[in-house]
Amino acid sequence: MRDKWTNRTAFILASIGSAVGLGNAWRFPGLCAKYGGGAFLMAYIICMVSLGIPLLMMETAIGRKTQGGAPKAMRTINKKAEPVGWASVANAFVILTYYAVVFAWCILMCVLAYKFATTNSTPETASTLWADTIGATFKTSFLGDGGKISVLLLVCLGVSWAFIYGCIRNGASQVGKVVKYTVFLPVIMLLILAIKGFINNPHLGEALSKLFVPNWSEFLDVELWVNAMGQSFYSLSIMMAIMFAYGSYLKKGSNIAVDSIIIAFSDLAISVLSGIVLFTTMYSTGQTVDNMSASGIATAYIIYPTAIVNLTSVGAINAIFGFVFYFMLCTLAIDSAFSILEGIAISVSDKFKLPKRKTTLTIAIVAAFISIIYITGAGVGYLDIVDNWTNQYTLIIIGILETIIVGWFFKPKKVLDEINKNTNKFKMPKWWFLTSIKFLAPLALVFLLVWQFVILIRNGFRYDTNYNLAAEIIAGWLVTALIFSSGFIINGIMKKTKRGIELSKEEELEPSWDEIKDEDELNDLPQNEENTEIKEEIEVK
């Protein structure tokens, strides 16, 4: 029997936890700093409302209707669309392998927070603390220091994987219990950090002005809109197989339209709160937007430590602040990490009819071994390359394919009807949903993809010329090729194995979208003799 959320709150909190990740805490504020503060915030809201929310509703509704992970969901939409579902699963798996390492870095910085109180803690030593501890070379060669592994970081990585698996080992019911704490903890800590930023801050007005008052000239910058679109897609956990899985755990009476609005605006609120924390903290130490970076890694592990040691003249207070900040990042990271693993596991167990718990453990173990690559001296370089390709290219292509399949090779009105079930107070307007899924979303994603390829061509088909060409080919081009071929590889295996052939025959008997509708209506009928006869009659047909 398929897992179900214990209640509506569990689904909402789990979805918020998945959406609210490290990107909210560091990438969003960094982009605000880079693109005129309020200008980026306004552009982000426009993109989230016009593009992000419809896609969030779409994936959740399809997941609930089909009761399956991304591959099964896409197969129900169109038999030939299953490889797109597997591409999102494979891309999520690659992201998971390095996201666990970023989580481990947060754990590491919690351990090292006491160093912000030592007598030799200066902005210079603080800015290199993370890189020196993990032995980062910022190159892609495994020779010499590039092949070394920090024992402390290895232990932190083991802890991160233990937490990730532990949170979802028992499925949706376990997640529902965990998110009661992991969603509210970062909000509480962000509020504490924000209050600290307001106290005795001589540059408070300037900080808030930079964050909220738009620089109208920035609206003419194409890159502003490109990054706002990208952030709206990445931030809501769409196109990563997660919301298909979470939607499949919903009960038939759930209110997707209203819940999606709550999830999206909760995500926005926490992004803004993170921006307040970063801006007030940086400005309180005399730094400005010129000292911030759109790079999340640089912001969290290089720039922020310099601000922490300058917060007060009391080292112990700085150390406590540093611990709270990095513990907050840990709580943000864990929800996103285990939601990614959940989306992968349910897709694999659905396809091969495997026990969910064993499947989750197996995937976690395999991903954990692969993630060791990223904790070597050369690991940061490889992580940077893989992160660029999975987010700037692969994720966008998956989004294009999803919206085209649903918008043009299916009847999106059927998805809209599924979204608007069980809701009277708010219904997703037809013009809003259909315009977004059929036109705005695919066109915006195509534009985003073309823009990324233009940048790639300008750089000589290289992401960063400081990295080894072979590393870029393997971690970039090859990984992307494997992601998009994953569905065809899996289907090929299914056709050549006895077990696979049996499962393929079972898939052929799976109900179509319209047949699932009839089945749902039957299940909702009161249990009496007359309705039992109706069910039996339809089953015979």
Query: Considering only CA atoms, which of 241, 245, 295 is closest in space to residue 23?
Result: 295
Most trustworthy range by pLDDT among 37-41, 261-265, 388-392, 489-493: 261-265
Per-residue pLDDT band for 520 (boundaries 50, 70, 90) equals very low
Per-residue pLDDT band for 528 (boundaries 50, 70, 90) equals very low
Residue 526's pLDDT is what? 46
H or E stretch at 31:
helix 28-34
Residue 517's pLDDT is what? 59
Residue 119's pLDDT is what? 64
- Residues 113, 167: Cα–Cα separation, whole Å: 25
* CA atoms within 13 A of residue 152's CA, in its CB half-sphere: 14
Residue 177's pLDDT is what? 84
Which tokens is 38 given? Answer: 């309020």
- Residues 107, 96: Cα–Cα separation, whole Å: 16
124: left (phi over 0), alpha (psi -120 to 50) or beta: alpha
Mean pLDDT of the chain: 90
Q: Is the pLDDT of residue 404 over 90?
A: yes
**One-letter amino acid identity for 2?**
R
Residue 532's pLDDT is what? 45
> Which CATH architecture best describes the domain 8-472?
Up-down Bundle (1.20)
- Domain range list for the chain: 8-472
Residue 122's pLDDT is what? 85
- Residues 116, 130: Cα–Cα separation, whole Å: 12
Cβ contacts of 103 within 8 Å, gap of 6 or more: 160, 163, 164, 330, 333, 334, 337
Query: Considering only CA atoms, which of 204, 184, 185 is closest in space to residue 194?
Result: 204
Whose tokens are 């534009």? That residue is 447
Q: Is the pLDDT of residue 43 over 60?
A: yes
Per-residue pLDDT band for 287 (boundaries 50, 70, 90) equals confident
- Residues 406, 59: Cα–Cα separation, whole Å: 10
Q: How many CB atoms lie within 10 A of CB 255?
A: 19
- Residues 446, 438: Cα–Cα separation, whole Å: 13
pLDDT in tens, 85-128: 999 999 999 999 999 999 999 999 999 999 999 867 788 899 99
Mean pLDDT of 16-29: 88
pLDDT in tens, 351-388: 999 999 999 999 999 999 999 999 999 999 999 999 99
- Residues 145, 420: Cα–Cα separation, whole Å: 57
Q: Which of 379-393, 456-470, 475-489 is predicted least confidently?
A: 456-470
Q: Which of 67-76, 152-161, 275-284 is predicted least confidently?
A: 275-284
Mean pLDDT of 382-408: 95
Helix axes 395-408, 412-419, angle to 10 degrees: 100
DSSP string computed for 150-169:
-HHHHHHHHHHHHHHHHHHT
- Residues 190, 179: Cα–Cα separation, whole Å: 17
- Residues 171, 396: Cα–Cα separation, whole Å: 29
Q: How many CB atoms lie within 10 A of CB 515?
A: 12
Q: Is the pLDDT of residue 430 over 50?
A: yes
Q: Identify the residue with better confidence: 192 or 120.
A: 192
* Backbone Cα Rg of the chain: 24
Q: Is the pLDDT of residue 13 over 90?
A: yes
Q: Is the pLDDT of residue 325 over 80?
A: yes
Percent of the chain with pLDDT over 90: 65
Which tokens is 167 given? Answer: 């949170």
- Residues 171, 16: Cα–Cα separation, whole Å: 17
Q: Is the pLDDT of residue 170 over 90?
A: no
pLDDT in tens, 439-451: 999 999 999 999 9
CB 399 within 8 A of CB 233: yes
Instruction: State residue 214 phi and psi, 5-degree precision.
Output: -70, 145
DSSP string computed for 210-266:
HHHSB-GGGGG-HHHHHHHHHHHHHHTTTTSSHHHHHHHTS-TT--HHHHHHHHHHH
Residue 200's pLDDT is what? 85
Residue 133's pLDDT is what? 95
* CA atoms within 13 A of residue 362's CA, in its CB half-sphere: 11
92: left (phi over 0), alpha (psi -120 to 50) or beta: alpha
**One-letter amino acid identity for 202?**
P
Residue 25's pLDDT is what? 85
Mean pLDDT of 11-26: 90
Residue 248's pLDDT is what? 95
Q: Measured at the alpha carbon of residue 507, what is the angle toward residues 503 and 508, in degrees to the nearest 5?
A: 120
- Residues 89, 367: Cα–Cα separation, whole Å: 13
CB 74 within 8 A of CB 85: yes
Query: Considering only CA atoms, which of 161, 175, 162 is closest in space to residue 15?
Result: 175
Global model pTM greater than 0.75: yes
